[in-house]
Amino acid sequence: MPKHAIALTDTQIKKSKPKDRNYKLSDGKGLYMIVSTNGGKWWRMDYTFGGKRKTLSLGTYPTVTLVDAREEALRLKRMIHQGIDPLEERKEEKQQIKEDTKLNEFEQKTQLHLVVDEWFKLHEKKVSGYTAGKTRALLDNKFIPYFAELTSKGYVKTSIPISKIKHHEITALLKEVSKETEYTAKKLKQFLDRIWIFAVTSGYCEKNIISNISNEILPSSKVEHISKITDERSLSNLLHSIENYTGGIMVRASLQFVTYTMLRASTLVNLKWEYVDFEAKTLTIPREQMKVKDSNLNDFVLPLVDQALQVLEELKPISGGGMYIFSTNGKPINKESGNKALRLMGFDGKEGRDKQTMHSFRGTFRSIAETHQSKHNASYETKEAILDHQVGSKVERAYTHKANYTEQMRRLLEWYADYLDEVKHG
């Protein structure tokens, strides 16, 4: 430092006041402070590199103290001595920060749950509402939580960018799901393959990590058939229990009705009075309300036996003024209400007890119809038509979908209702 240069002190800096023009307070060796007209105090350092005079900003006082400014100036001079231009170094750092910011924005945009949402908006336009709902539930319950951070209420807070998900992580997930059911794991894998194809096409990741995952790595799970009551003594007990159920008129009626119609729970609870023709003794359910929603198929027409009509007659004074048959306060009862009632009545399969669910009534009917084939002689197609099971390939159905089994169905259902009455009272 030249003999005439006097180093700055904190006291001098603190006492410096703004003037009409910016002025300089020198600390020597290129380090100085600019005191601006508005009172701001900026650290600067002048240096020469490659024959060119350059200036660096070192921050503002008092955030950067006098000691801090001197240490930073010393560090920068060492860089210059090593042949590194601090100004160019800063430009490179700023550029890197800018690129990192862009990368962070891209990762934010390509979080797994956001990519799935984007794909699902396209997917749901191509399938029925029922299928779309099942797909969404599968992804939300079995897939997204595996790679996401959830809130206390179960909503997705953040998730891993899809490009950072590894092949082995998906494999581990599918193996875990397959322990519950192999079918669900394979179905999930199909949807993941479509999602990754969409992501690659959209530029969200570079390759489809699902395409080379073989189904052979999924351990086969034990197939558990739906429990159903077919023994006459147990069936009699079930029918009496339903008749004497005191947990709610609507729930009891829904159990009585499903006994003679074998409808799926989701279809049953959404039945509307307008579907019933008391004169023709039929129930006509729009095709879109059924599990099979093929627009080429007719609406589902189910003959109603006298026992089923009696249930409806008893409900007329209660819900007949509204839209839905099985309803409370104008809204359909919950589709799980019947299952809950059956468990409360003891049909839960625990400790050696019989097990029956709303869906089991379909199996009960099918098994009994097969066992007593010689008594009713109904065709295979008639038995399947009652359950709205579509027989044959799509090509075959294109020619046979207008076949009317209504009267054959009525005869079989009347036989079945009489059989149940005999069992109940026998």
Which residue among 168, 185, 217 closes a domain? 217
- Do 96 and 116 lie in one domain? The reply is no
* Residue found under tokens 């797994």: 112
Given the DSSP bridges, would you call strands 300-303 and 282-285 parallel, antiparallel or unpaired? antiparallel
Cβ contacts of 352 within 8 Å, gap of 6 or more: none
- Do 413 and 325 lie in one domain? The reply is yes
Positions of E strands within 52-100 = 52-60
Q: What is the predicted pLDDT for the residue at 182?
A: 80
Q: What is the predicted pLDDT for the residue at 148?
A: 86
- Do 270 and 397 lie in one domain? The reply is yes
Q: What is the predicted pLDDT for the residue at 152?
A: 67
pLDDT, tens digit only, all 426 positions of the chain? 444 457 899 899 999 999 999 999 999 889 999 999 988 999 999 999 988 999 989 989 988 999 999 999 999 999 888 888 988 888 877 776 666 555 478 888 899 999 999 999 999 888 887 788 889 989 988 899 888 887 766 778 888 899 999 989 999 899 888 877 788 888 999 999 999 999 999 999 999 999 888 877 776 544 445 578 888 999 999 999 999 999 999 999 999 999 999 999 999 999 999 999 999 999 999 988 888 777 678 899 999 999 999 999 999 999 999 999 999 989 999 999 999 999 999 998 888 889 999 999 999 999 999 999 999 999 888 998 999 886 544 444 444 444 568 899 999 999 999 999 999 987
Q: What is the predicted pLDDT for the residue at 86?
A: 87
Number of domains in the chain: 3
**Cα–Cα distance between 246 and 422 in angstroms, integer?**
24
- Do 267 and 366 lie in one domain? The reply is yes
Q: What is the predicted pLDDT for the residue at 101?
A: 53
Residue 412 lies in a domain: yes
CATH number of the structural domain spanning residue 85: 3.30.160.390
- Give the model confidence (pLDDT) of 13-51 as tens digits: 999 999 999 999 999 889 999 999 988 999 999 999 988
Residue 222 lies in a domain: no
Q: Which two tokens stand for residue 63?
A: 């955030």
Residue 5 lies in a domain: no
In 3D, which of 134, 157, 152, 128 has the Cα closest to residue 297?
Answer: 128
- Do 188 and 122 lie in one domain? The reply is yes
Q: What is the predicted pLDDT for the residue at 216?
A: 75
The residue segments making up the domain with residue 54 are 10-106
CATH number of the structural domain spanning residue 198: 1.10.150.130
Which residue among 106, 122, 151 closes a domain? 106
- pTM greater than the 0.85 cutoff: no
CATH number of the structural domain spanning residue 329: 1.10.443.10
Give ∠ CA 180-360-410 in degrees, rounded to 5: 140
- Do 127 and 205 lie in one domain? The reply is yes
- Do 166 and 142 lie in one domain? The reply is yes
Bond before 332 cis per omega within 30 degrees = no
- Do 319 and 183 lie in one domain? The reply is no
- Do 250 and 352 lie in one domain? The reply is yes
Q: Which two tokens stand for residue 254?
A: 């829904």
Bridge partner residues of 33 (DSSP):
25, 43
- Give the model confidence (pLDDT) of 313-363 as tens digits: 999 999 999 999 999 989 999 999 999 999 999 998 888 889 999 999 999
- Do 260 and 367 lie in one domain? The reply is yes
Q: What is the predicted pLDDT for the residue at 1?
A: 43
Residue 23 lies in a domain: yes
CA distances from 77 to 60, 86, 173, 294, 343 (A): 19, 9, 55, 78, 81
Bridge partner residues of 285 (DSSP):
300
Residue 39 lies in a domain: yes
Q: What is the predicted pLDDT for the residue at 5?
A: 54
- Do 244 and 364 lie in one domain? The reply is yes
Which residue among 106, 136, 158 closes a domain? 106
Residue 307 lies in a domain: yes
- Do 22 and 93 lie in one domain? The reply is yes
